[in-house]
Structure 1
Amino acid sequence: MDLWETDGAWPASSVAQQKVCVVGGGPAGFYTAQQLVKGCQDVQVDIYERLPVPFGLVRFGVAPDHPEVKNVISTFTQTARHSRCGFYGNVTVGRDVSVEELREAYHAVVLSYGAEGNRLMGVPGEDLEGVYSAKDFVGWYNGLPSNRELNPGLNCETAVILGQGNVALDVARILLSPVDLLRKTDITQRSLEALLESKVRRVLIVGRRGPMQIAFTIKELREMVNLPDTKPDLVASEFEGVAEALKEVARPRKRLTELMLKTALEVPLEKERLRRLAASRSWGLRFLRSPLEVLPDPRGVRVAGVRLAVNRLEGKGDSALAVTTAEAETVDCGLVISSIGYRSLPIGPVVPFDPRRAIVPNTLGRVDQARGLYCSGWLKTGPTGVIATTMNNSFDTALSVIDDINSGHLDVSMAKPGSLGIGPLLDKRGVKPVTFSDWEKINQEETRRGEAVGKPREKLLDVEEMLEVART
């Protein structure tokens, strides 16, 4: 039977009276679907995802040496297999089907497609060879199909990462990790081979504010401090006055800052001192610096350095602002990675979008002035927080949908076709969706290929190959 055929009867998964669709099969989409299915016994939820594979940033954003973070995939899989949940991959909303058509077919549409764009630095030279966004670089080593041909040049000694969040530390750790530690992860074979030949031995992680404002967490910092064959390179003078300021901060920030202070200022014990002396690689934090210009090599083609403004802080704590001074300095490097944040993109003219904040304007997930339209995840809040943050904000959006159904604010009295209305449109346009059972064929093939080389999986990098496996 064709995916959309019904033989005159609605399929078992579509008998629910209320139809809700979720646009985006990443963490926000699955958490929203999970809460909807759990919280409303008469709702059918369909997830539409542009790639043939689900899980979004859990698959393509989480560092390969952090497999424990990917354990949420088992929860998402339970949701996808629920009798009142459907998954349709390989469907790009805004191209294959419009938001307007989804709104015709469903009582509610939840936009959860995340932040696919990059925030630009806005400085001369950021388009030179050897300058990459962290999003693209992470996508390269994690197997995102659109980044598989990235081929970053790693034949330089020094790399500079602009930004001091967890993603910046993930990138630094991958650049400096002994390859033997990465061989047993799900990092792609292409990136593993490139890292094996890498000449990068020094990574500087640069932030525009001070030690008290960094955005990474203590777990990621501890991993950097303990990274084999690698030593820290912190400037003691950049921590002046920090110890005194610790009295006023919350415990998580205090513990994190104390670890930085210990790493920067304390004389290590003999074993650690000898380990650092023997290390062939180093990582460093540099504070109160903002990019002014990426400097080209003599040919004007490739990055040769980055010119940084020296900043001063106005205010204190998380609200402190970085203000540039007339002072500047240059760091020679052959690789620059901008880790200053992801950015959501507008999906269509009928969906309100705030270009300055790069979010869909909303109140508790309800899109402003668009009844029946909702948003969750980074599209709702901006690219902040960890997966648990996304879970909570997605649950909140789902509860808004459920409240609107129960209160009558959302009119569900008229029957809607759901996927049975979208299916024929996709058929007409030559779009063949990938179901969750199709994805499980891809999953099995990736797992098989991984086992052959001692890895948990070897990801398929090409969309066409994914579709071929899914339809075998």
Structure 2
Amino acid sequence: MTHVVTQPCCGDAACAFACPVNCIHPTPDEPDFATAEMVYIDPQACVDCGACVKACPVGAIKPESRLTAEEHVFVELNALFHADSDVGNGLESPTRPAQAPVPPVVRIDGSRRLSVAVVGAGPAALYAADELLKQRQVQVRVLDRLPTPHGLVRAGVAPDHQHTKDIGRLFEKIESHPGFAYELGVEVGTDVTHDQLLATHDAVVYATGAAVDRRLDVPGEDLPGNATATDVVAWYNGHPDHVEAPLDLSGDRIVVVGNGNVALDVSRVLLSDPESLASTDIADHALDALRVSRVRVVEVLARRGPAQAAFTVPELVGLLHHPDLDVVVPQRELLDGDDVKSRLLREGTVAEADPARRHVVLRFLVAPVAVLGDGSVTGLEVTRTSLVTGPDGVVAAVPTGDHDVIPTRAVLRSVGYRSAPVPGVPFDPVTHRIPNVGGRVLDVPGGDVLPRTYVVGWAKRGPSGFIGTNKSCSLETVNHLLSDVAQGRIEAVDRPEPLRATAGVLDREGWLLLDAHEREAGRRAGRPRRKVVDRRRMVDVVEAARGGR
């Protein structure tokens, strides 16, 4: 018997380093770690010791004997990744080294006091704080413009993926370190400046993510009825800036342009039985809206074919086995490939929808031309595409000129993300990232290193990878920061104490009180938590809890 990595894999790779026989790959030091959909256990090398099970922060690893029927596909996926022969599935991995080396952590003088501000409170920020706090005499202050931390784990992971949110337990351990502090509800550029942070800290690390959606750049994109998948995700997850429904749920059809994991997440949540979501941490306002929603069909559009689909195999498996909906692929002729995605779609989808059931239509080889409507969206004009392989081997979608119109009242774009500039911090308008080399921020793209300023996560490398990818990304940056300390590039001077948090700003204790309130409210309702979504209400809950002690 072997152990198997299954659908909720977050890419943390802690399991790889816990494995005594080096059978879990790719590891963060290997080239394909950044592009692999998950990590995979070699069934031939696995000794069934269970060390990986304890190391996994989201419970994604199971013994083969305990897999459910829908999880058995992961036995094959894990084996294919480690296959020696070329079987044409796109998952092959090169020969592995004898053991996966753990990147060395730079050590600094234990008598050297170091104060670091981390801007952002998502996974990349907290992984960076974790690496910093492994040193003696280090203080880390994590700031975020929201009153709640954990970034996309709280506001981006779908509510029906509670296992993925279990990584929050790791974040709780990081937050409990005596050198850790929060200032939540503080925005850099509005409440505090970059220069003020540098004046009161030895270094500043930016972990501001990539929260701006790319545009389609087609006519009609700004008509009422257009929205982004990110807006919908934030809405049903209770993001305080997205309380109002971003889309019209009174029609029977929604069109999503783009076919990545977020597109499938949104489709699945919009079509799920609301009562099945009632036991999750979905925001109350979203649950109420979904209970009266008339949406029966979500069409997901992809420029390229099934083999090039942007969604991952684990996400596809979850959609195909969802009990509340069917998955329809009308273009059956496109599913004859021997790649894993084509095979799963061929075996797990139908050509025509059952009108009695809600369904997701996956439509390939189609690209948007214009959003139609007079005052609001009435449809989406699309063109069919064909695939052309360039000299570099990249498969591109080329418009054929054959047009169709899909009637709909709502169009969601889900075609990628960009970082937004932070006032006072360099920004590359071409790559839409903070310019950097290995996490050291540059004054201009290709320019000189900016003193005492660093970046991690999507703001550093672009919107790629999974939650756990930020672990190795943050380690690289923190190692460079610590090297700069060790080599005297960050001087040991007495810096003034940062200003204390003002009214309406939550510290670590305040977050813990709010967290406890949400969990208790959820417990009473038979849910993991019931989120407070109003900023003022968050502060009131904390103040009431403090006053009641």
TM-score relative to the length of structure 1:
0.86
Cα deviation, residue 365, structure 1? 0.7
Name the structure where helix makes up a greater proportion of residues. 1
Distance 1:71 1:401 in 2: 29
Q: Sequence identity of aligned pairs in percent?
A: 36
Distance 1:238 1:470 in 2: 58
Report if aligned partners of 2:252, 2:297 keep a CA contact under 8 Å in 1.
Answer: yes
Report if aligned partners of 1:239, 1:261 keep a CA contact under 8 Å in 2.
Answer: no
SS at match of 1:471: helix
Cα deviation, residue 27, structure 1? 1.0
Structure 1 counterpart of 2:459: 379
Structure 1 counterpart of 2:25: none
Residue 433 (structure 1) aligned with residue 528 (structure 2): no
Distance 2:536 2:172 in 1: 23
Counterpart selection for 2:538 from 456, 459, 466: 466
Cα deviation, residue 278, structure 1? 8.3
Q: How does 1:289-304 map to 2 (within 5 A)?
A: 289-296=366-373, 300-304=374-378
Q: Could you list the per-position Cα deviations for residues 242-269 of structure 1 after superposition, in whole angstroms to 9, with x for gaps in the alignment?
A: 52xx4xxxxxxx433321232358x9xx
Residue 258 (structure 1) aligned with residue 343 (structure 2): yes
Q: How does 1:345-364 map to 2 (within 5 A)?
A: 345-348=420-423, 350-364=424-438
Distance 1:212 1:255 in 2: 8
Residue 422 (structure 1) aligned with residue 494 (structure 2): no
Q: How does 1:36-115 map to 2 (within 5 A)?
A: 36-38=132-134, 40-115=135-210
Cα deviation, residue 277, structure 1? 5.2
Q: Could you list the per-position Cα deviations for residues 59-118 of structure 1 after superposition, in whole angstroms to 9, with x for gaps in the alignment?
A: 000000001111111111111121111111111111100011111111111000112322
Q: Which moved more, 1:20-29 or 1:218-227?
A: 218-227
Counterpart selection for 1:443 from 494, 515, 536: 515
Structure 2 counterpart of 1:394: 474
Cα deviation, residue 280, structure 1? 1.2
Report if aligned partners of 1:178, 1:228 keep a CA contact under 8 Å in 2.
Answer: no
Structure 2 counterpart of 1:4: none
Residue 33 (structure 1) aligned with residue 129 (structure 2): yes
SS at match of 1:367: strand
Q: Could you list the per-position Cα deviations for residues 356-379 of structure 1 after superposition, in whole angstroms to 9, with x for gaps in the alignment?
A: 221011111111131211111110
Cα deviation, residue 391, structure 1? 2.3
Aligned CA distance change for structure 1 residues 319 and 36 (closer, same or farther; 3 Å) = farther
Cα deviation, residue 151, structure 1? 5.3
Q: Which moved more, 1:54-63 or 1:445-454?
A: 445-454
Distance 2:387 2:487 in 1: 49
SS at match of 1:305: strand
Report if aligned partners of 1:16, 1:44 keep a CA contact under 8 Å in 2.
Answer: no
Structure 1 counterpart of 2:491: 412
Residue 153 (structure 1) aligned with residue 230 (structure 2): no
Aligned CA distance change for structure 1 residues 130 and 16 (closer, same or farther; 3 Å) = farther
Distance 1:238 1:42 in 2: 63
Distance 2:112 2:410 in 1: 53
Distance 2:525 2:393 in 1: 46
Distance 1:178 1:315 in 2: 41
Cα deviation, residue 347, structure 1? 0.7
Distance 2:210 2:348 in 1: 34
Cα deviation, residue 237, structure 1? 4.4
Report if aligned partners of 1:164, 1:207 keep a CA contact under 8 Å in 2.
Answer: yes
Structure 1 counterpart of 2:525: 453
Distance 1:324 1:104 in 2: 54
Cα deviation, residue 281, structure 1? 1.3
SS at match of 1:308: strand
Q: Give ranges in structure 1 of 5+ residues lacking alignment.
A: 1-14, 247-253, 268-272
Q: Which moved more, 1:52-61 or 1:394-403?
A: 394-403
Distance 1:25 1:387 in 2: 13
Structure 1 counterpart of 2:50: none
Report if aligned partners of 1:360, 1:379 keep a CA contact under 8 Å in 2.
Answer: yes
Q: Which moved more, 1:323-332 or 1:256-265?
A: 256-265
Report if aligned partners of 2:145, 2:185 keep a CA contact under 8 Å in 1.
Answer: yes
Residue 19 (structure 1) aligned with residue 112 (structure 2): no
Distance 2:504 2:295 in 1: 43
Q: Could you list the per-position Cα deviations for residues 129-177 of structure 1 after superposition, in whole angstroms to 9, with x for gaps in the alignment?
A: 2221111111110000110023532111111111111100000000111
Q: Could you list the per-position Cα deviations for residues 426-466 of structure 1 after superposition, in whole angstroms to 9, with x for gaps in the alignment?
A: 65xxx553111101111122122222322111111100100
Q: Could you list the per-position Cα deviations for residues 411-433 of structure 1 after superposition, in whole angstroms to 9, with x for gaps in the alignment?
A: 2322234xx2333xx65xxx553
TM-score relative to the length of structure 2:
0.74
Distance 2:146 2:530 in 1: 17
- The aligned amino acid for 2:463 is P
Aligned CA distance change for structure 1 residues 86 and 318 (closer, same or farther; 3 Å) = farther
Q: Could you list the per-position Cα deviations for residues 285-336 of structure 1 after superposition, in whole angstroms to 9, with x for gaps in the alignment?
A: 111222111111xxx2221110112222222798322222322211111221
- The aligned amino acid for 2:518 is E
SS at match of 2:187: coil
Structure 1 counterpart of 2:307: 212
- The aligned amino acid for 2:410 is L
Q: How does 1:229-248 map to 2 (within 5 A)?
A: 229-239=324-334, 243=337, 246=338
Report if aligned partners of 1:207, 1:286 keep a CA contact under 8 Å in 2.
Answer: yes
Distance 1:170 1:396 in 2: 31
Distance 2:357 2:112 in 1: 61
Report if aligned partners of 2:307, 2:341 keep a CA contact under 8 Å in 1.
Answer: no
Cα deviation, residue 238, structure 1? 4.9
Residue 335 (structure 1) aligned with residue 403 (structure 2): no
Cα deviation, residue 218, structure 1? 1.6
